[in-house]
Amino acid sequence: MTAPTRRDRHLQAIAERGRMGWQRASGYNWRALVEADVSRWKRVIGDDLRSRTDGRRATEVAIAADVLNRMLDLGRPKYVRIA
C-alpha cells in the first residue's frame, strides 16, 4: 500500500474535523482571500508592471496598492452606534 497523498490527508482531516475545522487548520481561508486579492489586482491594475527598473517598479506597486485600498475603502460600509 502506498503512502496517502496530500488530497487523501485533506479528506481525512475533513472527515475528522469537519469542513470548517479543516479550513482553519489548513489555512484555506487565508489562501482564498489572497487569491481574491490577486484577481482584483489583475482586473483593475493589469497583469504586467510597466516600469523597467526595480525602484520604479516598487513605486508602481505602492501606487497601485494605494489605489486598490482607496477603492476598497469607498465600498466598505461605515458603522455608527446609535444607542
- For residue range 40-83, list pLDDT tens digits in order: 889 988 888 889 999 999 999 999 999 999 988 998 888 899 98
Convert the chain into a string of H (helix), E (strand) and C (coil).
CCCCCHHHHHHHHHHHHHHHHHHHHHCHHHHHHHHHHHHHHHHHCCCCCCCCCHHHHHHHHHHHHHHHHHHHHHHCCCCCCCC
What is the value of pTM for the model shown? Answer: 0.59
Confidence band of 37 (pLDDT split at 50, 70, 90): confident
d(CA 78, CA 23): 29
Residue 1 has pLDDT above 80, yes or no: no
Q: Where are the domains of the chain?
A: 6-75
Confidence band of 19 (pLDDT split at 50, 70, 90): very high
